[in-house]
């Protein structure tokens, strides 16, 4: 497999970013839904800490991924795909990237409004983005939650479309992203 993308296929770097981020984001969504249902405990606080650290990792990775995307060509969709489906495919891809930026930023804002500076796996501490404010903490937490629901819906649409292309259309759209 090539390192860079071609007109027909994604390269190993793009494929690795895609699947690594898919695992991280889906894992974070699952942990986020689970941990919010827990009562205050050491386990809940530990999960929140890991959730924040891995969320920041997603933010850093999406920035690197976008940089890689801009210096590479993107494989073209098969000509058999109607223009309206191409438009939706591109809109969903950009929505996924937008959500993967908005989620960690709103999480960082929640942490900041709670008066805490987020740590990145103990390697360094990021600055707070806003002054401590309980009202803002609730606003950002609500935004974080609703963005999560939007991200879940968009992931479902993305996966559904990939499976449709593979099993119904029987084209190479999904195979282009497989190692």
33-54 pLDDT tens trace: 999 999 999 999 999 999 999 9
The band of 1, judged by pLDDT with boundaries at 50, 70 and 90, is confident
What is the structure's pLDDT at 92? 98
Inter-CA distances, 94 with 17, 135, 154, 157, Å: 15, 31, 10, 13
Q: Which of 13, 65, 51, 27 is nearest to 155 (CA)?
A: 27
Mean pLDDT confidence for 80-89: 95
Inter-CA distances, 122 with 47, 106, 111, Å: 15, 20, 16
- The answer to whether 122 and 111 are in contact (CB under 8 A) is no
Per-residue pLDDT at 65 exceeds 90: yes
> How many Cβ atoms are within 10 Å of 32's Cβ, its own excluded?
18
Maximum separation of any 2 CA atoms in the chain, in Å = 55
Mean pLDDT confidence for 74-96: 95
Per-residue pLDDT at 10 exceeds 90: yes
What is the structure's pLDDT at 165? 95
* CA triple 52-29-57, angle to 5 deg: 40
pTM for the predicted model, two decimal places: 0.95
Which CATH code for domain 12-177?
1.20.950
Per-residue pLDDT at 91 exceeds 90: yes
Supply the mean pLDDT for the chain: 97
The band of 156, judged by pLDDT with boundaries at 50, 70 and 90, is very high
Mean pLDDT confidence for 72-91: 94
Q: In the structure encoding, which two tokens stand for residue 174, read together? A: 């999904």
Mean pLDDT confidence for 21-25: 98
Q: Rounded to the nearest 10 degrees, what angle do helices 83-113 and 42-71 cross at?
A: 140
């Amino acid at each position: 497999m090539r390192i860079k993308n071609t007109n027909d296929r994604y390269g190993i770097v793009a494929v690795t970013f895609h699947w690594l981020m898919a695992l991280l984001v889906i894992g974070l969504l699952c942990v986020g839904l689970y941990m919010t249902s827990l009562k205050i405990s050491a386990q809940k606080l530990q999960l929140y800490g890991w959730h924040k650290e891995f969320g920041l990792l997603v933010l850093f990775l999406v920035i690197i991924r976008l940089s890689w995307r801009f210096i590479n060509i993107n494989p073209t969709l098969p000509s058999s795909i109607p223009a309206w489906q191409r438009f939706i495919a591109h809109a969903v891809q950009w929505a996924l990237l937008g959500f993967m930026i908005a989620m960690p930023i709103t999480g960082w804002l929640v942490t900041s409004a709670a008066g805490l500076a987020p740590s990145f796996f103990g390697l360094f501490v990021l600055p707070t983005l806003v002054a401590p404010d309980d009202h803002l903490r609730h606003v950002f937490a609500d935004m974080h939650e609703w963005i999560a629901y939007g991200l879940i819906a968009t992931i479902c649409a993305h996966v559904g479309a990939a499976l449709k292309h593979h099993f119904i259309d029987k084209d190479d759209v999904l195979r282009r992203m497989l190692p």
